[in-house]
Chain A
Amino acid sequence: MTDQGLVSSQLGSLHYEPALESSSLARLKPSYGLFIDGSFSDPGQHENLVTLNPATGETLATVAQGSVDDVDRAVKAARRAYENVWGKMSGAQRSKYLFRIARIIQERARELAVVETLDNGKPIRESRDIDIPLAAAYFFYYAGWADKLEHAGFGPDPQPVGVAGQIIPWNFPLLMAAWKLAPALAAGNTCVLKPAETTPLSALILAEILQQAGLPEGVVNIVTGDGSTGSALVEHPGVDKIAFTGSTDVGRLIQQRVASTPKRLTLELGGKGANIVFEDAPIDEMIEGIIDGIFFNQGHVCCAGSRLLVQESVAEEVLRRLVRRVEQLRVGDPLDKNTDVGAINSAEQLSRIEELVAVGEGEGATRYSSSCALPSKGFWFAPTVFSNVAQSHRIARDEIFGPVLSVLTFRTPEEVVAKANNTKYGLACGVWSEKGSRTLWVAERLRAGVIWANTYNRFDPTSPFGGMRESGFGREGGRHGLEAYLNV
């Protein structure tokens, strides 16, 4: 192809025939009850919610809408299990169960990956290579802590909190369940877990795994439902601790409800992560890092690098390469092993993304969206980059939680620190530079819980994760993650 004295070498021109993972591996049942006190309730006795495949809009299964009474039964079961079994059990015994759960997750990894992709819309490559292996890794990691709590730095004999109410989001359904359950169980607590309304299925498969592992009845109870179910859990007087991951708005409500009660609280909320690019950054790896930062999991990531702050001297070059790379992303069927970007999780989320993108255009930012073809059914949004974004624009301030990147520029380290910190959030940032001293100088001044250097969106069970300011408080992962579940 020749155009104005240019020859173009098309990237990704080799056609990849679809390589579909089989959806039948999911072995889904048509309907699921609640997992309370070690067994599933009859789905017929509940009101039901439908869970969709966001890539097609088709129904996957129905799940129970947990009522106030259901939550009460679950909390009471958790209390009994805490007082009679789990709270008394030795750490070594608890760790045995956690190791077992981790191994069964590995054994059923393929099935779990398909379930996660069907229910969430994320590419099978990510659920297979990231979500499921990491979920197992968190159980393995905290299994190791269960019999060593007295060496964790929280005093000679740290005690569990009691019954934990845990409410998790739809972006990493199984992984978030693992982040919540593994440290809580290792520390000797029992749990009532409320999965997200649109992605309950992998948690229900996890319930089967808990049965398979022989976990004593009531130690983990899983109550599906919408916001009212979560609300019932937050309000329940028998809960000693609430752990919530989700939006800042809901987090604020929960904090109000929990205030003036003895309940302990940790919140992991939204973010507007700054990915900071200095002119000496390793350019090829940095472009990949920007892509991973914002298009991983369709941008449905609380710590997403959704603001790109790039040094003005290299901005044109970075943007040119970035747009080229965005154009290469393979958007489509999440079950295709070659898909890079999958479906938006729900119609509701899609309309929020569309609304904020329209705001961005109205604010005068320059929009580029990938020319990829989008499937006609289901919920989809093409990967999008906004340039000419000003710090005052809403697309530079509000969390979009979708595959939309806002690009801003800066001139000096002082300026970029000020810009990166000029947000109500404080969850994660990235710094790209070949100069270690400057990376450390910047990192020390960024007000965010997680700073990545020359990488982005990397997770490991040994590393604490959590936010500052309106991104919440408390840490998950690592030794720090135990503190939220111990009376210290």
Chain B
Amino acid sequence: MSTAPLRLVPAQERGVRIPSNESVPSIDSEAQLRSVLASLSGVDAVGLEGRAAKLATRSIKRSTKAAAIDLAISMVDLTTLEGADTPGRVSSLCAKAMRPDPLDLGVPSVAAVCVYPDLVAHASSELDGSSVAVAAVATAFPSGRASLQMKLLDVHEALAAGADEIDMVIDRGAFLSGRIGQVFDEIVAVKEACGEKHLKVILETGELVTYDHVRRASWIAMLAGADFIKTSTGKVSVSATPPTALVMLEAVRDFAETTGRLVGVKLAGGIRNSKDAIRYLVIVNETAGSIWLRPSLFRFGASSLLNDLLMQRLKQQRGAYVRADEFSGD
């Protein structure tokens, strides 16, 4: 063993240091996966929640707030995931996504529109020629309770209809019963089906419950090839929370430092106002850093958030709030 004295890191290496060559370890057995997960540090819930609460006290005003609002708009996956969704509703959502405020062309487009697979073709034609991507929830969303065959079929259909991004769910039952190899293999299979298309892996953190679980599930997803890890389906009572976001951002940061591979984070469910969105951007800023402050690596899955961002944006410009009805409902 080396007993060399400790050295301090040089100045240029003080941020998050990401090797420029990717080398994600290939996982060949459940035992190997288990040993990787066992090497992860535990999470102290009290400390984690304390850190998240402290970051929430950052005071983001004026020019910083204006910049953060525009950044947040560009990170929105404008979402509708209802049984009552129709082509008409999706059309109106797509119009909103491309041009969130028709009176101000300075407002950026959102990142994507997120729909069920059967509406992908419609959304895709509405968004044709725009920068807005079509994301489809697949793999028996939201419960994930179907055979792998069914899940893959779901994915293939969404891709065939023109989806640019797939939001899959993990099998929480398998994860919680310790069948982590199965969780891993399903993600690998879905990523294979996706090819170059972006895969977001929904952990459904509200069902995993503990932060240790969230950290391990994040690593399983990243090792299996996820392009994004995502908190929630929005269909269970607990969705994205600041401590959960913090744990996942620590995971993508550490994964990038270890493997050179950048994985994005998507927060979904319950993010309704600009204040919360900006607080999340502060967590990104101070945990994973500059590289993640862009729509290719950080997203908000939301619907009503967009109008609040638009309202705050106008407030910044005019110094006063406008009526909610100044903005279209969807």
User: Which residues of A pack against B, CB within 8 Å?
Assistant: 1-3, 5-17, 19, 125, 129, 280-286, 288-289, 315-316, 319-320, 323-324, 327-328, 337-338, 366, 368, 371, 385, 387-388, 407, 409, 434, 454-455
Contact = CB atoms under 8 A, between A and B. Distances in A.
Given A3-B13, A387-B8, A17 B63 contact: yes
6 residue pairs, one from A and one from B, having the closest CB atoms: A285-B47, A19-B59, A9-B289, A9-B291, A13-B290, A337-B59
9 contacts: A11-B288, A12-B286, A13-B289, A14-B282, A281-B41, A284-B41, A324-B9, A366-B5, A454-B47
Contacts of A3: 12-13
A409 B2 CA distance: 14
A286 to B, nearest CB: 8
A282 B57 CA distance: 23
B59 A338 contact: yes
Nearest to B61: A19
Given A19-B59, A285-B46, A316-B6, 19 more contacts: A5-B20, A6-B20, A8-B16, A9-B291, A10-B289, A14-B282, A16-B60, A19-B61, A282-B44, A283-B41, A285-B44, A285-B51, A328-B286, A337-B58, A366-B6, A387-B7, A387-B8, A454-B47, A455-B47
Contacts of B253: 9
A2 B18 CA distance: 9
A14 B281 contact: yes
Interface string B1-42: 000011111011111111111000000000000000000011
Contacts of A8: 12-18
Contacts of B48: 284-285
B50 A288 contact: yes
Given A3-B13, A285-B44, A338-B59, A14 B293 contact: yes
B62 interface: yes
B50 A387 contact: no
A9 B16 contact: yes
B240 interface: no
B292 interface: yes
B285 interface: yes
A15 B64 contact: yes
B6 A388 contact: yes
Contacts of B67: 14
Contacts of A289: 47
Most chain A CB inside 10 Å of its own CB: which residue of B47, B282, B286: B47
A454 B62 CA distance: 37
A191 to B, nearest CB: 34
Contact of B289 (A11, A320, A454): A11
Contact of A14 (B5, B17, B64): B64
Contact of A368 (B8, B12, B61): B8
Contacts of B330: none
Contacts of A1: 12, 15
B61 A9 contact: no
Contacts of A368: 8
A10 B15 contact: yes
Given A10-B290, A14-B64, A387-B6, A282 B18 contact: no
A12 to B, nearest CB: 6
B11 A371 contact: yes
A474 to B, nearest CB: 29
A454 B44 contact: yes
A10 B290 CA distance: 5
Nearest to A280: B42
A454 B46 contact: yes
A13 B9 CA distance: 19
A345 to B, nearest CB: 23
Contact of A282 (B12, B42, B68, B290): B42
B289 A407 contact: no
A14 B58 CA distance: 12
Interface string B208-249: 000000000000000000000000000000000000000000
A17 B289 contact: no
A24 B60 CA distance: 21
A6 B13 contact: yes
B20 A285 contact: no
Contacts of B13: 3, 6, 8
Nearest to B62: A17
A14 B47 contact: no
Contacts of B46: 285, 454-455
A13 B19 CA distance: 20
Nearest to B10: A3
A11 B285 contact: yes
A179 B186 CA distance: 58
Contacts of A14: 64, 67-68, 281-282, 285, 290, 293
Contacts of A281: 41
Contacts of B12: 1, 3, 8
Contacts of A387: 6-8
A316 B253 CA distance: 18
B157 interface: no
Most chain B CB inside 10 Å of its own CB: which residue of A10, A281, A319: A10
B43 interface: yes
B291 A288 contact: no
B213 to A, nearest CB: 14
Contacts of A9: 15-16, 18, 253, 256, 288-292
A284 B15 contact: no
B250 interface: yes
Given A14-B285, A284-B41, A324-B14, A319 B8 contact: yes
A12 B64 CA distance: 12
A371 B51 CA distance: 23
Contacts of B57: 125, 129, 337
B42 A434 contact: yes
Contacts of B41: 280-284
Contact of A284 (B5, B7, B250, B290): B250
Given A10-B289, A288-B47, A338-B58, A323 B16 contact: no
Contacts of B292: 9
Contacts of A7: 17-20, 291
A15 B12 CA distance: 19
A314 B290 CA distance: 27
Contacts of B64: 14-17
Nearest to A433: B42
A337 B64 CA distance: 14
Contacts of B5: 366, 388
